[in-house]
Structure 1
Amino acid sequence: MDKDVDLDDEIEHLSVFHSAVASFYSPSDPSGIRGMKRERIQCTPSWRKHGPRRDCAFIVDDDDAPGFAGMSVVRIRLLFSFTRNGVYHPCAVVQWFKKVGRRPDPQTEMWIVEPEVK
């Protein structure tokens, strides 16, 4: 959801996070409690002393399109939050990926994506 923020207001509290927990409903996955799932999204500058780890996530673009056809992929670059005028704003800076082609790859049956460069 896009919101306009008045930059003249003072930020009361700013925090940076190296991970976040996403909770979502997945009715086709029987391993969760009644379809509920939790996944930890990592975005850390040092993962096991081998450099950064920046996980990817799916963004639903079109609720009516089946499966991945209605989704996009992003790589999480930064997780942060701030409070302004008493309102808490959780945020993420992401790198968008675009789909290559209009359908999954015929050999792997998986979608191919590549970084979107602007």
Structure 2
Amino acid sequence: MYQSECAEYIIPVRDALDVLYGRWKLPIIISLTFGSRRFKQIIEEIPGLTDKSLSKELKELESNQLITRKVYDSFPPRVEYSITEHGRSLSKVINELRDWGNQHRKKIIGN
């Protein structure tokens, strides 16, 4: 009885973490919540993020329908990334994580 109740919590949380796992996915999603961005704009907004990591994470986020990639017919080609409605559905989770992170920082650091 208790195992199935626990599994009802663990399985969907594990599914969510599988999609969001990685050092850069949430920062990329947060960046895109402020508007469409080009590749280099995302790199500039997130300290420590490399081209290789961003490329990998963008592909995974796109395959999970959290972001879209739009290629403009121009020379040179222009590509913009945007958050989807499905990606926007994470805003409550991200806000809760931010609030918890602020509380945790105060508790640990004492500020």
TM-score normalised by L of structure 2: 0.28
Q: Which has the higher strand share?
A: 1
- Structure showing the higher helix proportion among its residues: 2
